[in-house]
Amino acid sequence: MTSTTIILLIAIGLFAGFFSGMIGLGGGLIIIPALMYLLHMNQYTAQGTSLAIMLPPIGLMAAFNYYKAGQLNLKFAMIIAAAFFIGGYFGSRWALNIPEAILRRIFAVTLIIVAIRMLWSK
């Protein structure tokens, strides 16, 4: 691993961490495209790496700040986390059986749909 790669990884982490803590976006919107375009990972590896990244840092430190501010519904979070655990397992199994080009298009269309809905909603 080169020093340039390490610097890129740190920059991706800082940028994604900042936006994740600020507006809840990081993994899908920032990390996956950054890994693909800056570090030339394929879609599968970028998605798997993004999921592994999110386990400890986001779940602990960012959520703790929201907890201290009284802005965390722990019951909801636990239920969603359990469902996310199961959904993540099956989603990853399904994704690994889809051709990468199709997976990339699904990812892109999902981002566009969410962006359009958020842009035009009240």
Please name which of 12, 102, 99, 89 lies closest in space to residue 50, comparing C-alpha atoms. 12
The whole-angstrom separation of Cα 20 and Cα 50 is 13
Q: What is the pLDDT of residue 5?
A: 92
**Is the pLDDT at 39 greater than 70, yes or no?**
yes
Domains held by the chain: number: 1
Per the CB < 8 A criterion, the answer to whether 53 and 31 are in contact is yes
Q: Between 51 and 98, name the one with better pLDDT.
A: 98
Mean pLDDT of the 38-47 span: 88
Domain membership of residue 61 as a residue range: 3-120
- Residue 38: which pLDDT band, with cuts at 50, 70 and 90? very high
Confidence of residue 84 (pLDDT cuts 50, 70, 90): confident
Query: 68 near 82, Cβ under 8 Å?
Result: no
